[in-house]
Structure 1
Amino acid sequence: MKKIVSGGLTLVTYLAAFLFFFPILWIFITGFKSEGEAIVIPPTIFFKPTLENFRMIWDLGVSEFLVNSVIVTSVSTLIALALGVPAAYALAMFKVKKGDDILFWFISTRFLPIAGVIIPLYLIFKNTNLLDSKTGLILLYAAMNVPLIVWMMRSFFKDISYEIIEATQIDGASGLQSFFQVVLPLVRPGLISTGLLSMVFAWNEFFFAVSMSYTNAGTLPVYMSSYMTQEGLFWAKMAAAATIAILPVLILGWFTQKQLVRGLTMGAVKG
C-alpha cells in the first residue's frame, strides 16, 4: 500500500512539474515553426523545424538588447546587494531605533503601483539626462530590488546567533572582519537565492524599460514587444526571442539550484 501511495505521489509530482514547464516547452517549440504553423488552430505537433526565426531576430539586432539586459541586470543586482545586505544585517543584529518602522518603510516603497510613479520618474530622468540610458535603468532596478533584499536577507541573518559574532570579536576580529569572514559565509545560500531572485525580477521587468528606454538601453522584454504590431502578432519570432530571453535564467537556475533550494528553506521571513 505504501508503495502504491508513494508511486502515486511521484506520478502527481512529475505531472505537476510537467504542467508548470509546458508553457516554456511550447514557447521553445514555437520558435522553430514558421509564422503560418505558429498560428494554425489546432496547433501542429509534427512540423519541419527551421532556424529562420532565430537568424532573423539575430540579424535584426537582438544581441544588442541581450547585452543591455545582461549589463543592466548584473550591475543593478550587485548595487542592490551592496546596499541591501548591510542594511538587513544592521536591522537583524542590532537594536536600531524604530527598526520595525524602518523595515516597514522599505517594503512600503513597493505598495504604490508602477503606473503611479512613472510620470515623476520620467520627469526626473529627463531632467538628469538619464532617459534611454543603461545607467538610468541600473539605478532604477537597484532601487526596485533593495526592499526585497532587505526583507529576505534580514530573515537569514536572524537565524544566526549573535554569540558567534561576539566570539569573533573577542578573538580580535573587527566588525567588518566578522561580517565578511564569518557572517556572510554562513548565509551564502540565502545570499545566492536572494541575488538570483533579484536578477530574475530585473531581467523580466518590462514597464520601466519600455517607458524609460528607446534605442540605446532597450532590454529583451522591450525587444519582444516590437513583434506586437498593428498588423498582428508575429508569434514565431516572438517565441524565438523569448527562448533567447529564458535560456540564461534557466541555465543560471540549473547551476545554482542546490544553493537556491537551501537558501529558500533556511528560514521563513520573520517579522
Structure 2
Amino acid sequence: MATTPKQRSAPTEAAEEDEDASSSYLVAAADRALRLLTLVGDTPGLGLSELARLSGNSKARTFRLLQTLEANGFVLRKGSEATYWLSYQALRLAARAEQQIDLVRLSQPVLDAIGPRCEETVQIRVRHELESLCLGKWETTRIIRYHATVGQTSPLYAGASKVLLAFAPEAVQQTVLDSPRQSFTEDTPTEASVLRRELALIRRNGHCISRGEVSPEAFSVGVPVTDAAGQVVAALLIAAPLVRAMGARAKELLALAEEGGRMLSQALGHRPD
C-alpha cells in the first residue's frame, strides 16, 4: 500500500522524541518549554509559525509545547489567528518570585540584627508546596551549632517549620494530615490527631516551640512573618542545641524570634491593628 504524506510525518515526530529520550528527554523537554515560555513573555501576541521559527523548534513540537503550557495555565491562546500570551500561572509565579526576592532583601538586616544577639542560627523559611524552604540565614560561629543551608527543604510537620503549616490554607493542612509522615525521633508528631492539636495551639499562641522533633538534641522556635495584606508569607526560626535552650534561655530565644518576626513583618508593610 502506498504511503501517504501524512503517514510519513509520524516517523519524523517519533524520531524527535527518540532523540530527546537519548539525551535526558525530560530535561530537554523542560528546557524547550521554559525557553518557549520566555519567548512568549518577551514577544507576546505571536502565532505558532513565528514562535516555531524564533525558538528553533518544528511547528509540530512548538504546538505540543504550547498545548502543554496552555493546559497548565502558563500561556493563553487568543483570537481566530491563535496568538499566544502569558496567562495567570505565569503572573502568579512572577508575583511569588517578586515576593521572595523582597523577603531575601528585607530579611538580611533582620537576620544580622537578631543573630548576634542570640548567638544561635537564625533562618527565614517559606512554604514551598508541602515543604519548608530556607531563603536566608545567619549562622553562629560556635563549634556546636545548628547548621542551615539556603535552598534546603524540610518537612512542614516537624520542628519549628510547623508554624508555616499552622497558618497555611486548610487544603494544605489537610493534605499533610492525610499523607504519610516520616518519624525522625520519638517526638516527631506523626499521628494526625496529635499534629492537628499542635497546629491549633500554634495558631492560638502565635509561635511554635520544638524540642527534639527532627533531632533529639535540637531546639527551635518559629514565629510567623506577615505581609501588608495580613497574610503569613514566611517564618523566622531560631535553632540551637537543646542543651543551650533550657529554662529561661528558651523564653529569651522566643522573645528574640518574636522581635525579629515583627521587624520583618513591618518591613513588608504589615501594620498591626
**Does TM, scored on the shorter chain, surpass 0.5?**
no
Structure-1-length-normalised TM-score: 0.26
Of structures 1 and 2, the larger Rg is shown by: 2
Give the number of the structure whose residues are more often strand, by fraction. Answer: 2
Structure-2-length-normalised TM-score: 0.26
Larger relative contact order, structure 1 or 2 (CA cutoff 8 Å, min sep 6)? 1
